[in-house]
Amino acid sequence: MVPATASPVRLEASVDPRLSRWLWLVKWLLAIPHYIVLFFLWIAFAVVTVIAFFAVLFTARYPRPLFDFSVGVLRWNWRVTYYAHTALGTDRYPPFTLADVPDYPARFDVAYPERLSRGLVLVKWWLLAIPQYIAVAIIAGGGWGWGDGEGWRGGGGLMPYLSLVAVVILLFTARYPRHLFDFLIGLARWTARVTAYAALLTDQYPPFRLDMGGQESPPASSPASPPASPPDSPLTKT
């Protein structure tokens, strides 16, 4: 089998060892301060993306400070949606920062591309991504779009429904269904890859593949080379 190509987009999450049965009922309310900050961050994100579009078009490079800001907004959004809407697998309140927080149970990152295609930047975010937009609309619902500041918090899609099922099970059993968690994170990972592609952060087309589980699989290593033959012993020479 040919190993899957590692994606430059990494989304990971883990479930708290002990989750409150009822806190998920009010997490959306507790997250209101984040919604206010994210509203302004998404406006800045849109402006930065437009600037980056022209930068890639003329220089084939996404300016690193702008790239780090855009990834930081997506990272912040993922922490908030994971806490309050998608999977709801942690009771730890999200930090107010664009930077990566290694010990937080929801993490997001995109590998910085040294060069991007000038031609692809003209078509990938609307024409080439159309099949992915259809898939994401089914996964996350009509409100999935990053541009409206709602992130992965769509309505009417598969993720909101499954997230509700997961926390209802938690409410009655005090246990989070792990198989359902793995599936939810796989859906969120698919959506994240599409978002990064549409936001011009990568040229690698999102795979039509559900990579489930909280942790990303490490890139497949090449097959090990056979051990070198030992040098001929003088006793073997004729």
pLDDT in tens, 58-73: 999 999 999 999 999 9
Query: Residue 38 — left, alpha, or beta (φ > 0 → left; ψ -120 to 50 → alpha)?
Result: alpha
> Would you place residue 218 in the very low, low, confident or very high pLDDT band (cuts 50, 70, 90)?
low
Higher pLDDT, 1 or 108: 108
Classify residue 234: in a domain, yes or no: no
Statement: residue 1 has pLDDT above 90: no
Q: How many other CB atoms are found less than 10 A from the CB of residue 3?
A: 11
Note the pLDDT of residue 156.
67
Task: Give the pTM.
Answer: 0.86
What pLDDT score was predicted for residue 30?
A: 98
Contact 208, 45 (CB under 8 A): no
Mean pLDDT of 42-52: 98
* 66: containing domain: 9-217
**In this structure, is residue 40 part of a structural domain?**
yes
Residue 144 covered by a domain: yes
- pLDDT-derived band at 120 (thresholds 50, 70, 90) equals very high
Other beta carbons less than 10 A from residue 128's beta carbon = 13
Distance in angstroms (rounded) separating the CA atoms of residues 25 and 102: 27
Give the rounded percent of residues in the chain with a pLDDT score beyond 70.
83
pLDDT over 70 (residue 9): yes
Is 235 within the bounds of a domain?
no
Confidence label for 140 from pLDDT (cuts 50, 70 and 90): confident
Q: Does the pLDDT at position 180 exceed 50?
A: yes
Distance CA 9, CA 196 (A): 7
Residue 102 has pLDDT above 50, yes or no: yes
User: Quick check: 101 pLDDT over 50?
Assistant: yes
Whose tokens are 């030992």? That residue is 230
Sorting pLDDT into bands at 50, 70 and 90, what band is 5?
Answer: confident
Between the alpha carbon of residue 159 and those of residues 40, 85, 141, the distances in Å are 25, 9, 8
Domain count, the chain: 1
Residue 141 has what pLDDT? 76
Q: Is residue 232 part of a domain?
A: no
pLDDT tens for each residue of 25-35: 999 999 999 99
**130 token code pair:** 């159309």
